[in-house]
A = this chain, B = another copy of it.
Amino acid sequence: MKATVTVMLKPGVLDPQGEAVRRALHSLGFEGVEGVRQGRVIELDLAAQDRAAAEESIRAMCERLLANTVIESYRIEIA
């Protein structure tokens, strides 16, 4: 089973990486870019067959390792 976890900084948390990308895009002439936020995407290949169990397991992975829930939010998509 394939799953995708997207981890983004929560709104309001400063994103220096995204800001650096925005500036770099401006300096390349892409003036129409008003904001950039950068996050991580983690694709998981799971042995589990049960969808509900997989989602619960992925949620535990996010809470324990994949995301820093103080400053980051995560979204789980199961294919």
Provided the pairs A37-B43, A42-B38 are in contact, do residues A65 and B28 lie with their beta carbons within 8 angstroms?
A: yes
A interface list, Cβ under 8 A from B: 6, 8, 18, 21, 24-25, 28, 30-48, 57, 60-61, 64-66
- Give A27's nearest chain B residue, CB to CB: B65
Task: List the B side residues contacting A61 at CB < 8 Å.
Answer: 25, 28, 30, 33
Task: List the B side residues contacting A21 at CB < 8 Å.
Answer: 42, 65-66
**Is the Cβ of A40 less than 8 Å from the Cβ of B40?**
yes
Q: How far is the CA of A66 from the CA of B30 in the complex (A)?
A: 12
**Is the Cβ of B33 less than 8 Å from the Cβ of A44?**
yes
- Give A75's nearest chain B residue, CB to CB: B41
